[in-house]
Amino acid sequence: MALPNTTMGTDVMPSGVAPAFSAQQATNAFNQQMTQGRPNATGGKGGGVGGQPSVFQQAQAGQTAAMAGTAAGMGYQPAQVQAGQIAGTDLSPYFNPFEQQVVQQSLGDIEQARQMQANQLASQAQRAGAFGGSRSAILESQANEAAMQQAARTASNLRLGGFQQAQQMAGQDIGRQMQAALANQQAGLTGAGQRLGAAAQMGGLAQQAFGMGRDLQQDMAQQGAIQQMLNQQIFDRAREQFQGYTSFPERSLGYMATALGVAPTPQTQTTSRQPGLFDYLSLAFGG
């Protein structure tokens, strides 16, 4: 079992924040311990049978990864969000790059109109025989003044409109950036919570694996004890049989002793008498 590589994301660990463990380190530690493939018991090391990691190795690796993940979660700091301002914002990207051209074109149109009007005034004055007179000069001056005023208004209105539009667009961008930053911050917090939950789940799985291993160990020990007890009983019966063999002569003596003890033992008493000298004298004298 190997965990997929995970990425922390650029906003998970702000610069300057160095947690004790990272989720990547936790994943690497888990995968490393799972792929070490320690030899089994016959090889003198604590691996599972067949090169597979034992349930205790999985529990230990899971616990380590869970601790690392939890530590990473403890060190997590969400991304900082700062509000943008129009002040200090470079608005040049928001201006119409053709604004100057539009202004110049408008001024050119005004100038052209002024010249046409001047030509018309001159033509009228010439037809009236007043060309070059003071009245003609006054009319030309008034036309020029009006054209200049129109040119100034046109240029200022065009530039004001461009500035206001740039300001509005910059404000909208600042709002969108703020919205994106808040979304990223929330995503980071959600991700951190998800990783903490995963670490807790891994810790639970590690504990479950440890308990399962312990249960199996106890079952094995119990079954082995039953087997050993059976062997011991066989050995005991064999020894009893041997002791019966070695003690049989003693028992056979007991059989005989018992039999002799209960058998009636009639005793025959025989009395014999050897006559002496006095016996013969008594016999001779009729005593």
**What residue ranges bind other proteins (CB under 8 A)?**
41, 44-47, 54, 56-57, 59-60, 213, 216-218, 220-221, 223-225, 227-229, 231-232, 234-235, 238-239, 242-243, 245-246, 248-250, 252-253, 256-257, 259-260, 263, 265-279
Distance CA 144, CA 98 (A): 27
Q: Which amino acid is at 54?
A: S
Kindly state the DSSP code that residue 139 receives in the 8-state scheme: H
C-alpha to C-alpha distance for 134 and 130, rounded to whole angstroms: 8
**C-beta of 97 vs 266, nearer to other proteins:** 266
Q: Give the whole-angstrom CA distance, residue 173 versus residue 89.
A: 11
Token pair of 147 as six digits: 């054209």
* Identity of the residue, 145 or 240, whose beta carbon is nearer to other proteins in the bound complex: 240
- Close Cβ partners of 198 (under 8 Å, ≥ 6 residues apart): 69
Closer Cβ to other proteins, 88 or 287, answer by number: 287
Residue 14 vs 254, nearer CB to other proteins: 254
**In angstroms, rounded to a whole number, what is the distance separating the alpha carbons of residues 27 and 3?**
6
Shortest Å, Cβ 4 to other proteins: 24
Report, in Å, the least distance between residue 32 CB and other proteins: 14
Instruction: Report d(CA 117, CA 110) in Å as an integer.
Output: 10
* Residue (134 or 271) nearer to other proteins, CB: 271
Q: Which is nearer to other proteins, 145 or 279 (CB)?
A: 279
Least Cβ distance, residue 75 to other proteins (angstroms): 24
Q: Is 53 helix (H, G, I), strand (E, B) or coil?
A: coil
The answer to whether the beta carbons of residues 37 and 53 sit under 8 Å apart is yes
Q: How far is the CB of 216 from other proteins (least distance, A)?
A: 8
Q: How far is the CB of 183 from other proteins (least distance, A)?
A: 43
* Least separation in angstroms between CB 48 and other proteins: 9
Q: Which two tokens stand for residue 163?
A: 């500035």
Q: In Å, how far are 42, 68, 120, 194, 201 from 26, measured between CA atoms? A: 30, 5, 89, 15, 14
The minimum distance between CB 220 and other proteins, in angstroms, equals: 4
- The smaller minimum CB distance to other proteins, of residues 115 and 252, is found at 252
| 2 and 65 Cβ atoms separated by less than 8 Å | no
**Of how many residues is the chain composed?**
287
